Amino acid sequence: MDRATFPLRYTRQIRFPRVGIAGQSKLLAARVVLVGCGALGAGLAEILVRSGVGHLRLVDRDIVDATNLGRQATYTQRDADMGLPKAAALAEHLRSFNPEVEIEPHVADFEAATAPALLDGCQLVLDGTDNLEARYLINDLCVRAGIPWIYGACVGASGMTAVVLPGETPCLRCLFPDPPPLGTLETCESAGIIAPVAALIASLQAGEALKLLCGDTAALRRTLLQVEMWPWRLVELGGAKPTPRADCPACGQRKFEFAEGARAAKAAVLCGRNSVQLRRGNVAGSVDLNALARRLEQHFTVTHNGWVLRVCAEGLDLTLFDDGRALVSGTGDPAVARGVFDRVVGS
Ligand SMILES: [Zn+2]
């Protein structure tokens, strides 16, 4: 394809020599999966679609609500009023930004049983999720299949991102072998979040995605980047050329516990009770309900009777047991139950 046959929208990007005509052709032929369409995901999707990434598959289980509008790019008041699924609403907006690329929305929970099919045929996976279980699952599936993925996370005014090139750079389990104990990490629901840190991390992820899709792997940042925005602090971990760890369960020992479902959460709809039981796969030992109560009671109505912890959030009742089990009452939809659990307790 010569310069004249490209749509005008890519002119400035083609003029940047490290993209050029060759890079733009690769972007238009690219197939990318984005898991999670919240603040990171929506920001990432907009940049990639405007840049001409030819095929973007969106995966998200949530609906748009008013609390998303303070930071999640592209979503509108109408999306929230109509309660549209994020994947569907985002697909509609993205098509209006660039009708020349193909957008494939999936309103679905990203879990071990269904995730491999959602990654089928892709060359890059982008992390726009809000929970660790999904990230460890992405890591297992990508390391097992040799697909690059780009990790991103943010809460409060802090963010973190890394590019995982299986076999070349450390994977998520090289960096953090196991997720932290259940309920110990802050979430955007408990600690809040400011819009610019989500936009910054999404931009950093999108920049590495463009380099990778243009085939300029030598230019990729290979460090784990940690950003504190308020007050400002930037830390890059891993040295000049970090490599995978030989003792890593995933890329060293080829054990894929998250992909095989051994450490996945199990959800069961409780008949006739409008409730879902969640059993987390990550829990080793008992959950410190006292510590969790102290963290959550700053933000929610919490009761703790020594045996179970009850939290009211988003119109639902969560009852947590110290073996990591939870009952979510007020919904019969496992995806809704998982969503509120991950936002409030974290996973
Ligand atoms: Zn690893």
- Residue 251 Cα to ligand 1 midpoint, Å, equals 4
Nearest residue to 244 (alpha-carbon basis) of 177, 150, 159, 147: 177
How many A from CA of 221 to the centre of ligand 1? 17
Is the residue at 178 inside a domain? yes
Averaged confidence pLDDT in the chain: 91
Length of the chain counted residue by residue: 347
Domain end, chosen from 216, 237, 258, is at 237
Expressed in angstroms and rounded, the spacing between residue 143 Cα and the centre of ligand 1 is: 8
The DSSP string of 265-279 is -EEEEETTTTEEEEE
Q: Say which CATH number the domain at 153 has.
A: 3.40.50.720
Distance 178 CA to ligand 1 centre (A): 11
Structure confidence by residue, pLDDT tens digits, 79-111: 999 889 999 999 999 999 999 999 999 988 898
53 CA to middle of ligand 1, Å?
28
Which run of H or of E encompasses 151?
strand 149-155
190 and 283 assigned to the same domain: no
Whether residue 259 is contained in a domain is answered as no
Q: Which of 185, 216, 237 is the last residue of a domain?
A: 237
Residues 130 and 8 in one domain: yes
Are residues 229 and 272 both part of a single domain? no
Residue 244 belongs to a domain: no
Instruction: Read off the tokens for 137.
Output: 């699952």
Three-point CA angle 316, 318, 321, nearest 5°: 170
**Exposed (0-12), middle (13-18) or buried (19+): which is 233, by Cβ within 10 Å?**
exposed
Q: Do 124 and 147 touch, CB atoms closer than 8 A? A: yes
Number of folded domains in the chain? 2
How far apart are the CA of 70 and the centre of ligand 1, in A? 35
Q: Are residues 139 and 21 in the same domain?
A: yes
Residues 88 and 220 in one domain: yes
118 shares a domain with 207: yes
How far apart CA 160 and CA 201 sit, in angstroms, is: 7
Is the same domain home to 207 and 307?
Answer: no
Task: Name the residue range of residue 201's domain.
Answer: 3-237
Ligand 1 center to 301 CA (angstroms): 39
CATH number for position 334? 3.30.310.10
Indicate if 220 and 333 belong to the same structural domain: no
Do the domain assignments include residue 111?
yes
The answer on 330 and 184 residing in a single domain is no
Tell me the CA–centroid distance for residue 244 and ligand 1, in Å: 5
Question: pLDDT tens, position by position, for the chain (347 residues)?
Answer: 677 788 899 999 999 999 999 999 999 999 999 999 999 999 999 999 999 999 999 999 888 988 889 888 899 999 999 889 999 999 999 999 999 999 999 988 898 988 999 999 999 999 999 888 899 999 999 999 999 999 999 999 999 999 999 999 999 999 999 888 777 888 887 888 999 999 999 999 999 999 999 999 999 999 999 999 999 999 999 877 889 999 999 999 999 999 998 776 677 776 667 888 887 765 556 788 888 899 888 888 999 877 788 999 888 999 888 877 888 999 988 888 988 988 888 86
Q: Is residue 248 part of a domain?
A: no
Do 184 and 338 touch, CB atoms closer than 8 A? Answer: no
State which residues have CB under 5 angstroms from ligand 1, the bound ion.
171, 173-174, 244, 248, 250-251
Distance 3 CA to ligand 1 centre (A): 41
Q: How far is the CA of 224 from the centre of ligand 1 (A)?
A: 13
Going from the Cα of 168 to the center of ligand 1, the distance in angstroms, rounded, reads 10
Does residue 182 belong to any structural domain of this protein?
yes
Q: What spacing in Å lies between the alpha carbon of 144 and ligand 1's midpoint?
A: 10
Q: Does some domain include residue 287? A: yes
Q: What's residue 196's pLDDT?
A: 96
Domain membership of residue 165 (yes or no) is yes
Compute, in angstroms, the gap from residue 223 CA to the centroid of ligand 1.
Answer: 14
140 CA from centroid of ligand 1 (Å): 9
Co-location of 275 and 207 in the same domain: no
Same domain? For 55 and 129 the reply is yes
Tokens matching residue 319: 């009852």
- Token pair of 226, please? 């940690």
Is the domain of 200 the same as that of 270? no
Ligand 1 centroid – CA 191 distance (Å)? 29
